[in-house]
């Protein structure tokens, strides 16, 4: 099979994919393209059904609404959400209400502001240099008494009300578990863990515990693309899929950075590698199309 025909085969399998983790712009981090350009590339080259645009710094729902005239020309749907870092006031129920009630689909608990992220990237290493000087403070979900802070429950109420997807962000594994247990008590059923083996440091056994709480485990093609910054061996990704199960796994991009490949290119290369390693096409579609569509409420 030629390289061109192999790419066509992978693209056919991925038609209708949903990317839950696209880092297009605007952003204080340098980005390769804006949300409209990312969606156009995804539509024209992959027939992508939908994508979620994520910023560590701001509520991307307002970006999507501002770009609506351009986005209406595309078939690929674009959704926003909010990451609860210090840039938006941390655990800020008011910001969450605005984001979700104006159409947001995802709430990421602290990413850059989490203790775990700061521990791993205390000097900002491994992330782009911001284009403007910013300050970032640590945000914890537990108070001094060791209990979840009241704001956590307020935020979960809004997530439950709107049916949004709840992400554990970049928090410590034990904090993610505490958050998901509280979410379950609120009747929240759409939960996700982002890149468990990057920053977070959750083992497969811990992820199976999250799965028992109703969560999906998300892996990013950006970590396994040979032309990206990390270029891990796709066999590592396949091992995770086999241990956790494709029925509980989501594959997203985590791309859009100016110095990384385009999301579509990484999808094609990494998913092609998974097929070459023996992953069945139906399992790849489950993880790239069906599972993320369910998590966004598109089913």
Report which DSSP code applies to 200.
I
- pLDDT value, residue 5: 63
* 152: containing domain: 19-295
* 3-class DSSP assignment, residue 77: strand
Q: Establish if 2 belongs to a structural domain.
A: no
Q: Establish if 10 belongs to a structural domain.
A: no
- pLDDT value, residue 8: 87
Ranges in the chain, pLDDT < 50? none
Q: Establish if 9 belongs to a structural domain.
A: no
CATH number at residue 180: 3.20.20.140
Reference 138, options 85, 214, 204; nearest CA is 85
The total number of structural domains in the chain stands at 1
Reference 267, options 7, 4, 2; nearest CA is 7
Q: Establish if 6 belongs to a structural domain.
A: no
Helix orientation angle between 204-212 and 173-185, rounded to the nearest 10 degrees: 10
Report the Cα 143 to chain-centroid distance in Å.
27
Compute the distance between CA of residue 157 and CA of residue 162 in angstroms, rounded to an integer: 9
Compute the distance between CA of residue 168 and CA of residue 218 in angstroms, rounded to an integer: 11
- pLDDT value, residue 125: 56
Q: Establish if 14 belongs to a structural domain.
A: no
Greatest CA separation found in the chain? 61
- pLDDT value, residue 7: 84
Q: Establish if 53 belongs to a structural domain.
A: yes
Compute the distance between CA of residue 70 and CA of residue 266 in angstroms, rounded to an integer: 25
The 10s digit of each residue's pLDDT in 235-263 is 999 999 999 999 999 999 999 999 999 99
- pLDDT value, residue 129: 82
For residue 60, count other CB atoms closer than 10 A to its CB. Answer: 29
- pLDDT value, residue 4: 64
- pLDDT value, residue 126: 61
Compute the distance between CA of residue 239 and CA of residue 49 in angstroms, rounded to an integer: 27
């Amino acid at each position: 099979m030629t390289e061109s025909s192999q790419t066509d085969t992978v693209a056919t399998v991925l038609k209708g994919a949903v990317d839950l983790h696209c880092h297009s712009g605007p952003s204080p981090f340098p980005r390769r393209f804006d949300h409209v350009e990312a969606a156009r590339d995804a539509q024209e080259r992959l027939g992508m059904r939908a994508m979620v645009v994520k910023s560590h710094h701001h509520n991307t729902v307002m970006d999507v609404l501002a770009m609506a005239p351009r986005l209406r020309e595309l078939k690929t749907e674009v959704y926003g959400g909010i990451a609860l870092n210090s840039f938006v006031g941390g655990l800020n129920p008011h910001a969450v209400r605005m984001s979700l009630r104006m159409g947001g689909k995802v709430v990421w608990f602290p990413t850059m502001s989490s203790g775990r992220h700061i521990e791993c990237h205390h000097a900002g290493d491994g992330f782009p240099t911001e284009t403007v000087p910013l300050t970032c403070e640590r945000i914890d979900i537990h108070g001094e008494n060791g209990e979840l802070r009241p704001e956590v429950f307020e935020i979960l109420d809004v997530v439950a009300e709107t049916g949004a997807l709840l992400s554990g962000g970049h928090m410590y594994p034990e904090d993610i578990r505490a958050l998901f247990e509280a979410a379950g008590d609120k009747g929240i059923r759409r939960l996700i863990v982002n890149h468990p083996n990057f920053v977070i440091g959750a083992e497969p056994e811990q992820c199976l515990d999250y799965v028992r709480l109703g969560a999906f485990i998300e892996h990013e093609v950006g970590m396994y693309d040979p032309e990206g910054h990390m270029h891990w061996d796709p066999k590592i990704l396949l091992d995770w899929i086999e241990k956790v199960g494709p029925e509980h796994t989501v594959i997203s991009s985590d791309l859009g950075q100016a110095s990384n490949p385009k999301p579509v290119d990484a999808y094609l290369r990494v998913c092609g590698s998974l097929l070459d390693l023996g992953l069945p096409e139906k399992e790849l579609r489950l993880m790239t199309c069906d599972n993320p569509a369910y998590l966004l409420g598109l089913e």
